[in-house]
A and B are shown apart, each in its own frame.
Chain A
């Protein structure tokens, strides 16, 4: 069990503030684990910051920024086994990096190239879901299927605070509960859904309270605290794997960047709050923690950053070197066995 620092409304925290709030620690994590988590955070942060630059340079399309969401992704994935399935939303587009997916692949997804469509079974990472919450039932169903087959894998679905307003979220959560599916429902509560604040999304005191209605356990955790997220997910995964069914995790953070590169938040956001949140962003917070522990020195941190930067340089170079998409794929990929209806269009494509 973690030494969880007491916080308001049962928000689990491990990382202190280096001042009045003391640091805790998560049982069972070695120094190696702590540094691996750091590597994951830096990898995601670098991916995100480079992507915003690539977008400005016109090298990738509209991009959903996940700055300050890295702790939720890195912490939770670290609690999974490779056999466990991940169902990302657009906010977790680069989560495959943590499963060894090349940066090139994800960059191609954002460049609109068909080679950005990976085979989910290669990484146990499902395709990115952009329609809100519609993947929650998929995760429940996949997990239930694993259970029926007697396999040990679990699934985790990531979705936002706004997603909890969708019927698909409700139906998926209830379905998971009723079937006892081994799934973790991971809500990234960044308190905004584009321009709509959480207060306009729900009257619930906390999103985690919804777990009560489904009859499943809920955990509320500081989403900027990679260790607390890890610990919460580890608990939920262990429960799922041993037949205890689903858990709803509400990870509380704050969207300190635009919704996506196409969004101008000036009409609705509170700039002071954003400034404040940016000062406490999750990667810096974890690095300060590691330094207090004496685990991370600047040279090591610099090397991790350099490796991540190199990965991105290679990734974008490889992506841009790929030939343009083969247009015939639009037919070949639509059905397992192309329909006769495609024939005319294919003939036109081949200039016949």
Chain B
């Protein structure tokens, strides 16, 4: 925002309050109310107006308070933002960034914790990223804002407290570049968002039992760094795919398909998928814990892949 006056923010309660998760705190003071704008509670309007501003060259960053409420702006995202370039014969650009957050683990129930990124990776015309660390958020958000396509940036509520040293100089992270979180020999875990951290816990545990786990975070889901994922599986010969979203019909199925098609002859075990049970998220903590995947679920899947070929 300091470098480019075309970048501005809008969303519900992002100004004085700094957003419901405090992400935009302090920005109102620095950039003023025209560039850090509280909007009416109008999710279709927020994205729609963002599209309009983007069409004439601005680089809006809009926030949808909970990703569950992307549903209210779905027409604008799916039929409008994603299609404008195509339906202008490739002449129009919509350099719009849509930030949103979600995720379970704090018992918010069925309408405030869903992980809906798989809906949007399915739409040609959109790009989708899901950072899991502060460095990745910074680098990917930079790329999203400068990208000439509409980009959805998914943040996970439980990852806001994650702390790490970030480099002084901002390093943009290109889309379509996975990050190897941890190197290993026996099995590759392809994980997104909070599952990256839960997989690291599982890997530490597996290590104690002599199973060496490699973890790869695709970071950008659309485009997807197929090459990196396939290369890792060709090295380890086993694969677990994990996300917090519902397993069935999910993003992990696409990843599994990519792996089996490109690395079929290298696989020593069926690809395991770890995600949420096929149930609406529950308010009750015991129920939520049952539905949402944790590090033990990842660990069990790791053991299944190595157990099956007799290791």
Q: Are B286 and A324 in contact (CB under 8 A)?
A: yes
Q: Which of A93-128 contact B (CB under 8 A)?
A: 109, 112-114, 116
Q: How far is the CB of B248 from chain A (nearest CB, A)?
A: 6
A331 B283 Cβ-Cβ under 8 A: no
Pairwise interchain contact A131-B111, C-beta atoms closer than 8 A: yes
Contact digits for B85-125, partner A, Cβ 8 Å, 1 yes 0 no: 00000000000000000000001010110000000000000
Chain B residues, CB < 8 A from A109: 283
User: Digit string of A325-352 for contact with B (CB within 8 Å is 1, else 0)?
Assistant: 1010111011000010110010001000
Measured in the bound complex, the distance between the Cα atoms of B107 and A109 in whole Å is: 12
A194 touches B13 (CB 8 A): yes
Among B13, B18, B68, B285, point to the contact of A196 (Cβ < 8 A).
B13
Question: B16: shortest Cβ distance to chain A, in Å?
Answer: 4
**Are the C-beta atoms of A165 and B290 separated by less than 8 Å?**
no
Pick the contact of A268 from B16, B42, B111, B280 — CB < 8 Å? B16
B203 within 8 A of A: no
A134 CA to B41 CA in the complex, in Å?
Answer: 12
Instruction: List, in ascending order, chain A residues with CB within 8 A of B79's CB.
Output: none
Q: Are B282 and A165 in contact (CB under 8 A)?
A: no
The docked-state distance in angstroms from the alpha carbon of A114 to that of B286 is 11
Decide if A179 is an interface residue (CB 8 Å cutoff): no
Whether the pair A345, B277 counts as a contact (CB closer than 8 A) is yes
Q: How would residues 273 to 297 of chain A score, 1 for a CB under 8 Å from any chain B CB and 0 otherwise?
A: 0000000000000000000000000
Contact between B41 and A330, CB atoms less than 8 A apart:
no
Chain A residues 138-188 with CB under 8 Å of chain B are: 162-163, 165-168
Kindly list chain B residues whose C-beta atoms are within 8 Å of the C-beta of A163. 41
Q: Is the CB of B279 within 8 A of A330?
A: yes
Give which listed residue, B16, B68, B285, contacts A112 with CB less than 8 A.
B285
Residues of A within 8 A of B53 (CB): none
B40 nearest CB across to chain A (Å): 3
A345: chain B residues within 8 A (beta carbon): 277-279
Q: Is there a chain B Cβ closer than 8 Å to A303's Cβ? A: no
When distances are taken between beta carbons in the complex, the residues of chain B under 8 Å from A193 are: 12-13, 41
With A193-B41, A349-B290 known to touch, is A113 a contact of B16 (CB < 8 Å)?
no
Closest residue of chain A to B15, judged by CB? Answer: A195
Least CB distance from A163 to B in Å reads: 7
A339: chain B residues at CB < 8 Å are: 278
B284 at the interface (CB under 8 A from A): yes
Taking a contact as CB atoms closer than 8 A, the residue among A114, A132, A195, A330 that contacts B38 in the complex is A195
Q: How far apart are B272's CB and chain A's nearest CB, in angstroms?
A: 13
Contacts of A329 in B (CB 8 A): 287
Q: How far is the CB of B44 from chain A (nearest CB, A)?
A: 5
Instruction: Tell me the nearest residue of chain B to A163, going by C-beta.
Output: B41
Compute how far the CA of A62 lies from the CA of B299 in the bound complex, rounded to whole angstroms.
32
Chain B CB count within 10 A is highest, among A113, A194, A268, A327, for: A327
Q: Is the interface of B mostly helix, strand, loop or mixed?
A: loop
Asked whether, in the complex, the Cβ of A330 is within 8 Å of the Cβ of B16, the reply is no
Chain B residues, CB < 8 A from A314: none
The yes or no answer to A267 lying at the interface (CB within 8 A) is yes
Q: Which A residue's beta carbon lies closest to that of B281?
A: A330
| Alpha-carbon distance between A349 and B286 when the two chains are bound, in angstroms | 12
Asked whether B282 lies within 8 Å of A330 as measured between CB atoms, the reply is: yes
Contact B41 A327 (CB under 8 A): no
Q: Which residues of B are found within 8 Å of A200, using beta-carbon distances?
A: 38, 40
C-alpha spacing A298/B42, complex, angstroms: 47
Residues of chain A with a CB closer than 8 A to B72's CB: 131, 134, 166-168
Cβ of B159 < 8 Å from any Cβ of A? no
Within 8 A of B (CB), among A300-340: 324-325, 327, 329-331, 333-334, 339
A348 CB, nearest partner CB in chain B, Å? 8
Whether B290 contacts A327 by the Cβ 8 Å rule is yes
Contact of A61 among B41, B68, B283, B286 (CB under 8 A): B283
Complex CA distance for A293 and B38, rounded to whole angstroms: 46
A130 at the interface (CB under 8 A from B): yes
> Is the C-beta of B269 less than 8 angstroms from some C-beta in chain A?
no
Q: Complex Cα distance A236/B32, Å?
A: 44
Residues of chain B in range 179-225 having any CB-CB distance to chain A below 8 Å: none
- A325-B13 contact given A130-B111, A345-B277, CB 8 Å threshold: no
In the bound complex, residues from chain B placing their C-beta under 8 Å from that of A333 are 280
Minimum Cβ distance to chain A for residue B225 (Å): 30
B278 CB contacts on chain A under 8 angstroms: 334, 339, 341-342, 345
What is the bound-complex CA distance between A163 and B72, given in angstroms? 13
Docked-complex contact B284 and A112, CB < 8 angstroms: yes
Distance between B247 CB and nearest chain A CB, rounded to angstroms: 9
CA distance A193 to B12 in the complex (A): 9
Give A162 Cβ to nearest chain B Cβ, in Å. Answer: 4
List, in ascending order, chain A residues with CB within 8 A of B40's CB.
162, 165, 196, 200-202
Bound form: Cα–Cα A121–B74 in Å = 31
- The reply to whether A334 and B285 contact each other, CB–CB distance below 8 Å, is no
Question: What CA separation (Å) do A196 and B36 show in the bound complex?
Answer: 13
B303 in the interface (beta carbon within 8 A): no
Contact, CB under 8 Å: A330 / B287: yes
Q: Count chain A CB atoms within 10 A of each CB in B15, B43, B284, B285 and give the residue with the most.
A: B284
Q: List 24 A-B contacts (CB under 8 A).
A: A61-B107, A61-B283, A112-B282, A113-B283, A134-B72, A163-B41, A165-B45, A167-B72, A168-B72, A194-B20, A195-B13, A196-B12, A196-B40, A267-B16, A267-B17, A268-B16, A327-B287, A330-B279, A330-B280, A330-B290, A331-B277, A331-B279, A333-B280, A345-B277
Across chains A and B, which 8 residue pairs bring their CB atoms closest together, nearest first? A112-B283, A165-B40, A195-B17, A330-B279, A325-B284, A268-B16, A162-B41, A345-B277
Beyond the given A162-B41, A193-B41, A324-B284, please list 7 additional residue pairs across the A-B interface where CB-CB is below 8 A.
Answer: A61-B107, A112-B282, A114-B282, A166-B72, A200-B40, A202-B40, A330-B277
Chain B residues within 8 Å of A, Cβ to Cβ:
12-13, 15-18, 20, 38, 40-45, 68-69, 72, 107, 109, 111-112, 248, 277-280, 282-287, 290-291
